[in-house]
Every structure is written in C-alpha cells, then in structure tokens.
Structure 1
Amino acid sequence: MKKRSLKFLALALTSALMVVGFTGCGEKKSAGKNKIGMVVSTLNNPFFVSMKEGAEKKAKALGYELVVLDSQNDPAKERSNVEDLVQQGVGAVLVNPTDSDAVKNAIQVANDSEIPVITLDRQSNGGTVACHIASDNVKGGSMAADFILDSLKDKKEIKIVELQGLPGASATRDRGEGFHKVVDGKSNIKVVASQPADFDRQKGLSVMENIIQATPKFDAVFAHNDEMALGAVKALKAANKNVIVVGFDGTGDAKDTVKKGNMAATMAQQPSVMGEMGVDNAVKIIKGEKVQSKIPAELKVFKK
C-alpha cells in the first residue's frame, strides 16, 4: 500500500512538472508574439534613423516591444542580427536590406524558423517575404529627371552627372532605371559621368571632387540619395560651380539645404511612415490577418 502511494505521488509530481513546463513554454511563445524585430542597414544615415523612429512610435502605440539592430552596411552582420532576433523569439522581423542579393541569406534564417519577414525600402532577391513596403523608386528616378529637364528647358544641350547608390541595392538599380528612362535616347541630353558613391555623404563629396577635375563642364547632378547630394553640394561650393543638384529621400538636412537655395530639390520619401507601416503590417501578420504583398509609400518633389 505504501509503495502504491509513493508511486502515485511520483506520477502526480511528474505530471505537474510537465504541465508547468508546457505552460512556461506557452508563455514564452506568447511573449514573443508581442515582440517585433527590426534590422536596419545602417543607423549612420538620417533616413534610416527616421525609419527606426517611426517604427518605434507605432510599436509603442500598439503596445509591442520593438528590438532594433544595426547591420552597419555589413551583410554578415545583417544575418547575425536576424539570428539574434530569432533566438529572442520575435513574432515578426522588419528588414531594411544592406544588399538585395545578400539579404536573402538573412531572410532564409527567419524563414527556417517560420518567422514572417517584411522588407522596407529595399527589396530582397530571394527568400520568402510576406510584405514589401517602399516608395516607387523607378518613378522617383523619373521624377528627378523630369525636374532637371524642366529646370533646364531653355538650354540647347544638357549635361548631367549621376551619383549612384550602393551597388547591389534595389534602390540604386530602380532609381537609376527611372532616371535613364527619361534622359537616355535624347540627342540634347548627355550623362557625362555616372559613378557610385554608396549612399554616403563623404563619398559623395570625394567622388564629386574627382568628377569636377575630370569633367568640369556639366549643368546638373542627380544623386540617388540626399547624403550623396549634400556631399556634392559641398564639393561644388568649394569649386565655385553653380549647377542644379537633385537628391532623393527628403531628409531634414536636404530640405533645409533646398530652403536655403543650395540644392534644387529632393524626391521626398517618408521614412518614418515606412517604419510605421512596417510595424502596423507586422502586427496584422502576427494576429493572422492578411496583408498586401507590396505596399507603396508616397513620393513628392520637395523644392523651394
């Protein structure tokens, strides 16, 4: 009788531990559902800082924890960041890719753990993505070209310099595609230089300095983002050159420079809105709701 009681007690304790263990696991999983991960290509760029702040604001309003990690423009770190978020048990991951090809390795990490992924601003050329939120970069490139041509319509011949973004990034490809759709094939328009400056202000400055030395005669500069445009403005000012400079993003620094008349225009994106939209759609996915596979963010020409 005593042996039977001890055996019954042991079974009861084992069952209780199993229930506790199961409940604890369930709580951990549930906690992850209130946590969203965000991997940003670089926080050394005001555009992506604004995107992060928009996401943080929306997450707080919806009662979700947002974990933001900086990839520092390094695809290897990007993958490591996603692995870290998977370990933390996030319910969804927002990814602003460093490179559209390389990011598929990071996205596959989330896919393998069945964690939904939303890409922001730059798309991925691989992996499963639930939703992509971005401005129409092709349209924006065309808008920039149209602005330049309209501003210089009285000139018989128009010479333009193009500062390209980070090679491999979808934004670089798409903005360049839109720009060239408008300017290519026109006998009175010539792109006299087209070089990458990696979306970086300092590189925009140094590349622009080199172009000024090699090709001193041109009428306008189209930079694939505002950081490069601001670097170009500095180089042009030092060289006493008065040409039209058009950027892309609509950052605070760029808008201030446009207002002062030192830059002609910027194709203004709304990065904070992209961040908000990213979190909003991540929450919908976590709750089991359907979302659109592609969601556009509005673009507008910001000029003086």
Structure 2
Amino acid sequence: MTSRKTVRIGCAVIAAGLAALSLAACGQNVPASSGGAKKVIGVSVADQKSLFYVAEVAGIKDEAKKKGYDVDITSANNDSSAQIKQVNDLLTKQIGALIFTSQDSTAAAAGVRAANQAQVPVIAVDQRPESGQGKLSTYIATDSVKAAHDLCTWMFKQIGGQGELAILHGVLGSTAEIQRTQGCQNALRENPGVKVVAEDTANWDETKAFKATQNILTAHPNVKAVFGESDAMSLGASKAAKESGKTIFSVGIDGFPTMFDGVASGLTQATMAQQPYRMGQMAVDNAIALMEGKGSDIPQEQYQDTVLINKDTVTQHKVEEFYGPDAQSFK
C-alpha cells in the first residue's frame, strides 16, 4: 500500500516537472508576472560629462526602475571607436532594445546598422545617423534649428540689430552642431546688421571655449556678442570676457543648472532650456513598448520644445523641470 502510494506521488511529481519544462521551453506562454525573465534595455551614450547626458541617463534609470526593467548603460567618453565597440558588446548580450545617443555621425551610422542587423529596435536620443545609414524606431530630440533661430533672433534684438558676432561650434558634424548652426544662420539672414567676424570649434567644452574666446577677443576686440552652441561654451566665453575686462552678450543652448546661475547673476544673458530628463523617460517608455510589440504608434520623430531662460524668466522656472529631481547635484 505504502509502496504504491509512493509510486503514484513520484509519477505526479515527474508529470508536473515535465509540464513546467514544456512551459519554460515556450517562453512566450509564460506571463511576465510569473517571473519570466525580461530582456534588458541597452543604453549607449556619448559621455557622462555633459550635463545633458547625465540628466538623460538619470531619466532612463528612474523610468526603468519605475517600470521594473533593467538597463545596461555604457558611456563612450567621447570616443567614437569605443562607442561602436560598446554597442556591439551590448548586442551580443541580446538586449531587447537600444537607447542610443551617439558621439558623432560615424558612431551613429555604425551603431544603428549593427542594431538593425541584430533586429534590435533603436531609440535615438539627441543625435541621429545621416539619411540612409540605418533605420530608427524613433528619434527623440530638441528642435535645435528652431531653438537656435529663436535664441539668436532674441539676442540680435537685445544688441540693437547690429554688431560683430562670434560663434563657438560644438563637435563638427554632430546633429546638434549642424542644426544649431543652421538655426542661427537663418536668424543672421533676417538680421543683416549683425556680422559674423569669428568662428571656432570648442566641442561643447567650457575650457576650450574660454581659450577660443580669449583668442577671438584679441583678434576682434569689437565683438559684441557670442553665440555658444552649448551652455558650457557660453559660460566659457563669458568668463574669458570678464577676465579680459570686456563686456559681451553671451547665450547658449541647454538649460544647465550652472547656466541658470549664470543668467541669474548676470554672467551670461540667456539659454534655451532643453528637456533631457524627460527625453530619457520617453526613451525607456518607447523601448518597453517596442519590446512588448506595442510600438506601432510611436512617431518617427519626437521633437521637444525649449524654453527661453533670461533675466526676466529665470525666476519663473526651476531647473528641475528640465534636468530632473537631482538637477542641483549636477553642478
């Protein structure tokens, strides 16, 4: 009697085990809530020095945690070759989606093509590959052409519609650099009294912008204004002018916490504040939708508005609106 009962129990256990193995073999039949493994979201960003990218990653981490997803985040430290390798490494880990902020057009094209070949959807943030160099599921970014046009138009009005202008460019060939240059050029065509007398490349960097502006002010002492294509470069220009005992009108694009302080103190005059924290959150939401097969209604392009922060508006906004709850710690 006891022996037969033991056999019956043993058979039942084996049958249950086989059933469980059968379900496991058909992973799509196991609901996620039952403990089935979720694919990781891969993230590749150009660096973690720029406050824009720091805030973007903060938004990614917070939203992924909120939604119960894991993220594998890599930073290329502004090295295009390193970023291409990092993307390939992420793809070998069988990530479910790639959130991609590329260092430059070379990394963008190579990374997107590799993800396409691996059939991993790509959510590009801030930077994008050139046309024909890979397929994106969506592109999330600031409308930098409009932001630069509106900012330069406002600046030209403040300086009386005439005077000498210097432009500090970001990384040449990057999406933001191309679009911000185009936007300000559009404004220049509408304001023929403003003349560009100097241009230099400072690669979004404050120290490089400081040195570049010193040289510009030596060669062109009558420069009236500087358009820094990023906040860091605008701050560098303002500090260089102050050290030289000169007064210039300096603006940037980003909305960094340090730039809010610069505008409030009068060191710089304005910035167009972007929304990197929100962009990071959006990227995660899009990645999850794509991984779950629900991304058919995601727009191809998702441009986010900027807000003009100047002496009149700086007290009306908090930097946390743009750079997330930890924005003050990014200084």
Q: TM-score, normalised by structure 2?
A: 0.81
Residues 260-294 of structure 1: CA deviation (Å, up to 9, x unaligned)? 11110001101111111111111111111221110
- Could you say which residue in structure 1 is the equivalent of 2:203? 198
Distance (whole Å) between structure 2 residues aligned to residue 218 and residue 38 of structure 1:
42
Tell me the secondary structure at the aligned position of residue 42 of structure 1: coil
Q: Structure 2 vs 1, CA of residues 64 and 217 (structure 1 numbering), >3 Å: closer, same or farther?
A: same
The counterpart of 1:152, out of the listed 159, 164, 182, is 159
Distance (whole Å) between structure 1 residues aligned to residue 229 and residue 138 of structure 2:
24
The answer on whether the counterparts of 1:204 and 1:228 sit within 8 Å (CA) in structure 2 is yes
The counterpart of 2:25, out of the listed 20, 23, 26, is 23
Distance (whole Å) between structure 2 residues aligned to residue 84 and residue 97 of structure 1:
15
Distance (whole Å) between structure 2 residues aligned to residue 269 and residue 186 of structure 1:
25
Q: Does 1:39 align with 2:44?
A: yes
What are the ranges of 5 or more consecutive residues in structure 1 without an aligned counterpart?
1-15
Which amino acid is the alignment partner of residue 284 of structure 2?
Answer: V
The answer on whether the counterparts of 1:36 and 1:64 sit within 8 Å (CA) in structure 2 is yes
Q: Does 1:78 align with 2:83?
A: yes
Q: Structure 2 vs 1, CA of residues 255 and 66 (structure 1 numbering), >3 Å: closer, same or farther?
A: same
Tell me the secondary structure at the aligned position of residue 134 of structure 1: strand
- Could you say which residue in structure 2 is the equivalent of 1:107? 112
Tell me the secondary structure at the aligned position of residue 272 of structure 2: strand
Shift in Å at residue 163 of structure 1?
0.4
- Could you say which residue in structure 2 is the equivalent of 1:6? none
The answer on whether the counterparts of 1:32 and 1:90 sit within 8 Å (CA) in structure 2 is no
Which amino acid is the alignment partner of residue 278 of structure 2?
Answer: V
Higher mean alpha-carbon deviation, 94-103 vs 213-222, is at: 94-103
Shift in Å at residue 67 of structure 1?
1.4
Tell me the secondary structure at the aligned position of residue 248 of structure 1: strand
The counterpart of 1:143, out of the listed 131, 146, 150, is 150
Residues 204-231 of structure 1: CA deviation (Å, up to 9, x unaligned)? 1111111111111111111110111111
Which amino acid is the alignment partner of residue 249 of structure 1?
Answer: D
Tell me the secondary structure at the aligned position of residue 288 of structure 1: coil
Residues 29-58 of structure 1: CA deviation (Å, up to 9, x unaligned)? x6352x111111111111110111011111
The counterpart of 1:51, out of the listed 50, 56, 59, is 56
Residues 88-139 of structure 1: CA deviation (Å, up to 9, x unaligned)? 2211001111112432111111111111001101111121111000010000
- Could you say which residue in structure 2 is the equivalent of 1:12? none
Residues 235-278 of structure 1: CA deviation (Å, up to 9, x unaligned)? 11111111111010101111111111111000110111111111
Percentage of identical aligned residues: 31
Distance (whole Å) between structure 2 residues aligned to residue 31 and residue 208 of structure 1:
53
Tell me the secondary structure at the aligned position of residue 143 of structure 1: helix
What are the ranges of 5 or more consecutive residues in structure 2 without an aligned counterpart?
1-17, 31-35, 312-331
The answer on whether the counterparts of 1:32 and 1:88 sit within 8 Å (CA) in structure 2 is no
Distance (whole Å) between structure 2 residues aligned to residue 123 and residue 232 of structure 1:
28
The counterpart of 1:303, out of the listed 310, 325, 331, is 310
Residues 169-195 of structure 1: CA deviation (Å, up to 9, x unaligned)? 010000000100011364311011111
Distance (whole Å) between structure 1 residues aligned to residue 159 and residue 210 of structure 2:
24
- Could you say which residue in structure 2 is the equivalent of 1:134? 141
Distance (whole Å) between structure 2 residues aligned to residue 184 and residue 196 of structure 1:
22
Tell me the secondary structure at the aligned position of residue 103 of structure 2: coil
Tell me the secondary structure at the aligned position of residue 234 of structure 1: helix
